């Protein structure tokens, strides 16, 4: 995905009224939980990765960091995207289903029993070209003060984090 496309998505998210920064005591608790991972964002998906190598791995193996450490690791990996994508190309030579190239690294949250937050994915509910929400029933969920919503890499879906 080009920088222009990423910027356009970010602009559309902000125009649609989606909250960008969670806050409050549940968010503070969640940031300290060891449920955070580094996630590789491609043009079509977001997958958990090994925080040291940037290669995809099982989400349970990836989510062992607090949010600050996951963000630091993601920033470190972002400096090496070209090298990591070159390694992905080499690894893909032996794979039936190739890994996608990484556009950027970010953070992901894996809720577990007793977690401060839950995550819901809403698929095919957003027009990626206009940013319009195509499922009217979703708007009240996204407008709750106890939630945070972000656009998926495909631009067609939302991930919503909810806390109480």
At residue 5, the pLDDT reads: 33
At residue 157, the pLDDT reads: 86
Q: Closest Cα to residue 163, out of 5, 7, 14, 23?
A: 23
- List average pLDDT for each run of 10 residues in the chain, which is 164 residues long: 36 46 78 94 89 92 94 95 93 89 92 89 88 88 82 82 80
Mutual angle of helices 67-78 and 25-32, in 10-degree steps: 60
At residue 20, the pLDDT reads: 52
At residue 81, the pLDDT reads: 94
At residue 159, the pLDDT reads: 85
Q: Closest Cα to residue 148, out of 90, 102, 109?
A: 109
Burial of 38 (0-12, 13-18, 19+ CB in 10 A): buried
Q: Residue 97 contacts by C-beta under 8 Å, 6 or more apart in sequence?
A: none
At residue 22, the pLDDT reads: 66
Whole-structure pTM value: 0.74
Residue 67 to residue 37: CA distance in whole angstroms: 8
At residue 161, the pLDDT reads: 85
């Amino acid at each position: 995905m080009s920088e222009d496309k990423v910027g356009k998505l970010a602009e559309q998210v902000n125009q649609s009224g989606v909250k960008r920064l969670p806050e409050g005591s549940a968010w503070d608790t969640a940031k300290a939980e060891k449920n955070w991972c580094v996630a590789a964002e491609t043009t079509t998906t977001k997958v958990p990765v090994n925080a040291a190598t940037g290669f995809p791995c099982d989400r349970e193996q990836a989510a062992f960091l607090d949010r600050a450490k996951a963000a630091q690791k993601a920033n470190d990996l972002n400096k090496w995207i070209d090298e990591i994508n070159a390694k992905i190309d080499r690894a893909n030579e032996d794979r039936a289903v190739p890994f996608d190239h990484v556009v950027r690294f970010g953070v992901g949250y894996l809720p577990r029993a007793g977690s401060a937050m839950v995550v819901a994915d809403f698929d095919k509910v957003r027009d990626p070209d206009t940013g319009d929400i195509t499922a009217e029933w979703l708007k009240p969920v996204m407008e709750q003060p106890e939630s945070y919503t972000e656009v998926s890499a495909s631009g067609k879906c939302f991930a919503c984090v909810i806390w109480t």
